[in-house]
């Protein structure tokens, strides 16, 4: 099988590559490696016509940049070195571009495999060696490449919540093979086996897209699973997102019948090809999975297992015929985002008997995935597992906040031997598991839990001298892991789990720091475009499983402009702006056409969802006018559209939308701001949005920031913002010189604050500031998720302003970097690392006895401006006066410290720290 090494291990290897290159192969002044094609290492299902290639430079020499590159692409790995005829040679290109370089050779055809290498020249014109050979392989580019037939069972019980059909086909391989690839997709979710071995390590394939317009297929290299002689392929299907329950117990959103499509292409040594397809010769039956649903869990009767069912010698005489269904017309596309795979393993940290007498296993982390167990039982014995996120105030098992979702696993034993089981087409959000039907001992030999999430690869780390803040960062990362399951969801446990756009826009930037989400969002944004209404309205959730009237809410639908811009900045990916431009434009025109004189004060909006107030989210002193918010986001979306138009060179659009933006801002000021700068809603969110989106004239900004600071003071230093104000409040405070207030907000431990849940034992970000109230009781179960990432948006500020790592917007993707760390008087050290498209950035500061030390790493082919805070006296870098260090230039004083520019390499700055920023007391 292709994925002998678990994908998580591969990711680890990838992270380690730079170090191995350092250790072993830094033979040249500049070296090249870590090559990716469309964000993937050696992808085999590429369906874009000009795949983009990226690589990283490695060098021990500071200030290394790329002056030129050369790419060669051949149809055979050996050809590359032999100087034979190649598919494409770029020749030497004088350019510093080392990311997203498009292939510019002849048009590629279905299945074509391209081997590629790159070499570079540094800024001293020294060449690297040729990189190792990598490849990409094209998918099936035309519908006509699919000779397989869609197949279905003919059972009446094939309905939502019904058993999982198992399909099987036998085939014979007569000659030695060179390679074999399985192309496969389904209506529903599938799990494939070849000769009794699972194909790949992906789960919930084909993934969640706007199925009626875009259905992904996966490709697996199954060369090593095929043998000479008789073989068999078996595929099980589940309801998944296709027809499974969604919001309001709606089902069959995309159709009511499951279906399967596959073709297994075997290439023989002599180059000929045999295609084994799903067709009328397949057989089908039901097996052990009697029910399986994302919301409700799985019902598995092991007595119905069919041992060896996908092996060659299994007897299929009792199985039924399938029907082919060629009326299914799908828009098949190659998978683009990362697959969902299995990650961390958890062992029980304790087994409790609750006051109500339940037996409950605590895995210590609110995670999303499932429990795997290995137990003995008598045939017919039933084990039931119930999953919950928290215990209630009395310490009893609690799952009322799941609403109608059951999250229950029921397993029926087959015989007296130890049986190992894990679910198939479901996932649970949980920390605690209530066990019924088993009274024996429980430990890590018989119960473990696995986290499952999109295999994005961790890119960021953030830590400080404060353990509570570190736990907050942990919770933010786990909020991301638990909610990035093929799409960005609101929550992973109750009966929603949808791609809520507001949550996604709030968290998107933080997400880009923690993990590589480029391909994840690229895929999801295509679904956004696909589901956007003709008039430009963007649905509340993507893919849109709701009614088409649930569209166009400010701060939610604006994900259409915010996410593409965020991905562009984080990865320097201009193509995402090209891809989404029409969608961005049409969202802005939707608002325009629903405004009077560019004032958008109509429509249904969620407002600053879940802001703090005495009685919480409907009224109270922190209530911000919903139309004011709508107007603010109208301006922001228009601003981002202008930004995109500038990048894409659409000058006329820049002109038109700049005029529009001016008029939107005027309307905002006239309607919501008094001449002296008081806003009609005197809330934190009002001032935050007005300042962050530059909606106030220059002369009113100073008073606005003061009012914001005053408001925070009025709440005794607490945050009162909801989903829309929270992402920006600390950013705004820092931007206008009040970082100390931002730190106070961050460090606050009483409700409402970011650390309050941490003091209550949270291991993820909660939906509400007080999911568990100060008196220990739980919030309203109708809306009380303990795994909702929106408030985790503070992570963005932690990376950007505490560690101080941000990209220069004019040179995105961290090609030009700003290192602007801020010192908070509550911390003695902080550090952030970020693996970018160019390599690793690090910014780590510490203060001891007024001595400030900043360690910075900047990857090759980038430069960084560093702002050293509160400098006094001599600054040294690795022991030398900074003015004598050749790689440091542009040294100048700025109003908060000293600014200087460096090239790539590791640097250590040391000086005496002297705070000049006034300390605001909270
Ligand atoms: C979801 C949210 C979402 C909201 C919209 C909730 O039920 O869980 O996170 O953004 O609805 O109002």
Per residue in 459-469, pLDDT (tens digit) is 999 999 999 99
CB neighbours of residue 310 within 10 Å: 25
- Report residue 621's pLDDT band, with 50, 70 and 90 as the boundaries: confident
Q: How many A from CA of 606 to the centre of ligand 1?
A: 9
Which of 556, 609, 779 to probe ligand 1 with, by most ligand atoms within 8 A of CB? 609
Do residues 870 and 916 lie in contact, with contact meaning Cβ atoms separated by under 8 Å? yes
What's the DSSP call for residue 800? I
Beta bridge partners of 171: 231
Question: Is 496 among the catalytic positions?
Answer: yes
Q: How many A from CA of 162 to the centre of ligand 1?
A: 29
Q: What is the pLDDT of residues 711-769, one digit of tens each?
A: 999 999 999 999 999 999 999 999 999 999 999 999 999 999 999 999 999 999 999 99
Which of 501, 502, 605, 626 to probe ligand 1 with, by most ligand atoms within 8 A of CB? 502
> pTM here?
0.95
Rounded-to-5 percentages of helix, strand, coil across the chain? 25, 30, 45
For ligand 1, is residue 791 a contact (CB within 6 Å)? no
For ligand 1, is residue 606 a contact (CB within 6 Å)? yes
Using the predicted structure, report yes or no on whether residue 921 has a pLDDT greater than 60: no
User: Which residue owns the Cα nearest ligand 1 atom 8?
Assistant: 490
For the CA of 491, the closest atom of ligand 1 is 8
For ligand 1, is residue 479 a contact (CB within 6 Å)? no
Distances (CA, A) of 327 to 159, 259, 330: 19, 12, 9
For ligand 1, is residue 796 a contact (CB within 6 Å)? no
Catalytic residue among 191, 265, 767, 877: 767
Q: What is the pLDDT of residues 821-879, one digit of tens each?
A: 999 888 999 999 999 999 999 999 999 999 999 999 999 999 999 999 988 889 999 99
Question: What is the structure's pLDDT at 914?
Answer: 87
Catalytic residue among 170, 265, 389, 496: 496
Q: How many A from CA of 541 to the centre of ligand 1?
A: 9
Mean pLDDT lowest for which of 23-32, 61-70, 167-176, 486-495? Answer: 23-32
Kindly state the average pLDDT of the residues 882-903.
93
For ligand 1, is residue 609 a contact (CB within 6 Å)? yes
For the CA of 540, the closest atom of ligand 1 is 5
Q: Residues with Cβ < 8 Å from 464, sequence gap 6 or more? A: 470, 802, 827, 829, 830, 831
Q: How many A from CA of 500 to the centre of ligand 1?
A: 7
Q: What is the pLDDT of residues 434-460, one digit of tens each?
A: 999 999 999 999 999 999 999 999 999
Q: How many A from CA of 275 to the centre of ligand 1?
A: 46
Using the predicted structure, report yes or no on whether residue 534 has a pLDDT greater than 80: yes
Question: What is the structure's pLDDT at 83?
Answer: 63
The closest alpha carbon to 789, from 664, 610, 656, belongs to: 610
Using the predicted structure, report yes or no on whether residue 330 has a pLDDT greater than 90: no
User: Which residue owns the Cα nearest ligand 1 atom 3?
Assistant: 500
* Spatial distance between the Cα atoms of 564 and 574, rounded to a whole number of angstroms: 9
User: Which residue owns the Cα nearest ligand 1 atom 6?
Assistant: 490
Question: What is the structure's pLDDT at 618?
Answer: 43
* Spatial distance between the Cα atoms of 314 and 231, rounded to a whole number of angstroms: 10
Q: How many A from CA of 786 to the centre of ligand 1?
A: 13
Q: Residues with Cβ < 8 Å from 798, sequence gap 6 or more? A: 462, 469, 473, 746, 832
Q: Residues with Cβ < 8 Å from 876, sequence gap 6 or more? A: 882, 909, 910, 911
For the CA of 788, the closest atom of ligand 1 is 9
The closest alpha carbon to 129, from 62, 168, 80, belongs to: 80
Using the predicted structure, report yes or no on whether residue 376 has a pLDDT greater than 70: yes
What is the 3-state secondary structure of 411-454? EECCCCCEEEECCCCCCEEEEEEEEECCCCCCCCCCEEEEEEEE
Using the predicted structure, report yes or no on whether residue 13 has a pLDDT greater than 70: no
Which of 295, 403, 496 to probe ligand 1 with, by most ligand atoms within 8 A of CB? 496
Q: How many A from CA of 657 to the centre of ligand 1?
A: 31
Question: Is 767 among the catalytic positions?
Answer: yes
Kindly state the average pLDDT of the residues 531-535.
98
Question: What is the structure's pLDDT at 620?
Answer: 55
Question: What is the structure's pLDDT at 76?
Answer: 85
């Amino acid at each position: 099988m292709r994925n002998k090494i678990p994908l998580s291990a591969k990711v680890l290897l990838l992270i380690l590559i730079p170090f191995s290159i350092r250790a072993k192969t830094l033979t040249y002044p500049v070296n090249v490696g870590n090559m990716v094609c469309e964000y993937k290492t050696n992808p085999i299902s590429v369906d874009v016509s000009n795949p983009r290639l990226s690589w990283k430079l490695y060098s021990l020499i500071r200030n290394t940049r790329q002056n030129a590159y050369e790419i060669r692409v051949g149809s055979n790995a050996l050809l590359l070195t032999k100087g034979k005829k190649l598919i494409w040679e770029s020749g030497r290109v004088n350019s510093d571009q080392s990311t997203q370089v498009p292939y510019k050779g002849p048009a590629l055809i279905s299945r074509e495999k391209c081997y590629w290498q790159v070499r570079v020249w540094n800024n001293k014109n020294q060449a690297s060696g040729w990189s190792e050979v990598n490849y990409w392989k094209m998918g099936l580019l035309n519908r006509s490449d699919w000779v397989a037939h869609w197949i279905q069972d003919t059972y009446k019980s094939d309905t939502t919540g019904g058993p999982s059909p198992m399909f099987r086909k036998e085939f014979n391989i007569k000659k030695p093979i060179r390679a074999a690839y399985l192309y496969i997709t389904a209506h529903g979710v599938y799990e494939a086996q070849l000769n009794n071995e699972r194909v790949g390590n992906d789960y919930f394939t084909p993934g969640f897209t706007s199925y009626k317009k875009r259905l992904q297929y996966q490709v697996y290299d199954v060369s090593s699973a095929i043998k000479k002689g008789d073989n068999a392929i078996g595929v099980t299907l589940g309801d998944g997102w296709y027809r499974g329950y969604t919001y309001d117990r709606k089902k069959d959103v995309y159709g009511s019948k499951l279906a399967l499509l596959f073709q297994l292409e075997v290439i023989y040594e002599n180059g000929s090809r045999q295609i084994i397809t799903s067709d009328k010769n397949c057989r089908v039956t039901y097996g052990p999975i009697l029910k399986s649903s994302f919301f409700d869990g799985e019902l598995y009767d092991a007595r119905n297992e069919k041992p060896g069912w996908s092996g060659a010698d299994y007897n299929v005489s009792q199985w039924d015929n399938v029907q082919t269904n060629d009326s299914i017309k799908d828009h098949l596309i190659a998978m683009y985002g990362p697959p969902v795979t299995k990650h961390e393993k958890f062992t029980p940290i304790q087994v409790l008997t609750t006051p109500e007498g339940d037996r409950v296993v605590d895995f210590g982390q609110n995670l999303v995935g499932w429990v795997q167990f290995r137990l003995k039982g008598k045939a017919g014995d039933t084990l039931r597992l119930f999953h919950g996120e928290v215990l209630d105030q009395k310490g009893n098992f609690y799952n009322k906040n799941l609403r109608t979702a059951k999250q229950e696993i029921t397993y029926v034993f087959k015989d007296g031997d130890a049986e190992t089981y894990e679910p198939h087409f479901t996932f649970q959000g949980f920390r605690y598991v209530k066990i019924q039907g088993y009274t024996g001992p429980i430990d890590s030999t018989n119960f473990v839990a696995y986290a499952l999430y999109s295999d994005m690869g961790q890119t960021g780390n953030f830590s400080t001298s404060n353990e509570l803040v570190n736990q907050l960062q942990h919770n933010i990362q786990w909020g991301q892991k638990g909610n990035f399951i093929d799409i960005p969801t609101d929550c992973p446990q109750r009966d929603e789990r949808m791609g809520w756009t507001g949550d996604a826009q709030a968290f998107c930037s933080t997400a880009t720091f923690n993990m590589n989400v480029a391909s994840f969002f690229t895929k999801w944004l295509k679904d956004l475009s696909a589901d956007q209404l003709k008039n430009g309205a963007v649905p509340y959730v993507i893919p849109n499983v709701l009614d088409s009237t649930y569209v166009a809410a400010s701060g939610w639908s604006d994900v259409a402009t915010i996410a593409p811009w965020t991905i562009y900045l984080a990865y320097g990916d201009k193509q995402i702006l090209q891809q989404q431009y029409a969608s961005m434009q049409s969202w802005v025109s939707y608002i325009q056409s629903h405004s009077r004189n560019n004032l958008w004060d109509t429509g249904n909006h969620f407002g600053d969802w879940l802001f703090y107030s005495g009685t919480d989210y409907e009224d109270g002193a922190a209530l911000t006018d919903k139309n004011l918010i709508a107007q603010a986001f109208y301006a922001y979306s228009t601003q981002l559209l202008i930004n995109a138009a500038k990048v894409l060179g659409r000058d006329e659009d820049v002109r038109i939308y700049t005029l529009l933006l001016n008029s939107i801002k005027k309307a905002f000021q006239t309607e919501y701001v008094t001449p002296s700068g008081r806003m009609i809603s005197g809330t934190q969110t009002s001032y935050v949005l007005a300042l962050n989106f530059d909606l106030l004239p220059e002369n009113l900004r100073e008073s606005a920031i003061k009012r914001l600071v005053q408001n925070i003071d009025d709440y005794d230093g607490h945050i009162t913002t909801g989903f829309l104000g929270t992402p920006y409040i600390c950013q705004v405070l820092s931007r206008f010189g009040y970082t100390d207030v931002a730190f106070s907000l961050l460090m606050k431990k009483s409700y409402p604050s970011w650390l309050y849940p941490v003091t209550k034992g949270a291991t993820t970000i909660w939906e509400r500031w007080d999911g568990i109230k100060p008196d220990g009781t739980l919030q309203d179960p109708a809306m009380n998720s303990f795994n909702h990432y929106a408030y985790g948006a503070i992570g963005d500020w932690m990376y950007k302003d505490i560690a101080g790592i941000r990209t220069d917007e004019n040179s995105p993707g961290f090609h030009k970097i700003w290192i602007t760390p801020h010192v908070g008087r509550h911390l003695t050290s902080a550090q952030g690392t970020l693996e970018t498209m160019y390599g690793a950035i690090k910014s780590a500061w510490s203060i001891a006895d007024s001595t400030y030390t900043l360690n910075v790493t900047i990857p090759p082919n980038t430069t960084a401006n560093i702002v050293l805070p509160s400098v006094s006296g001599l600054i040294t870098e690795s022991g030398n006066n900074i003015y004598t260090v050749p790689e440091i230039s542009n040294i100048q004083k700025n109003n908060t410290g000293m600014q200087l520019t460096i090239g790539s390499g590791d640097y250590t700055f040391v000086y005496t720290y002297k705070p000049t920023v006034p300390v605001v007391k909270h």
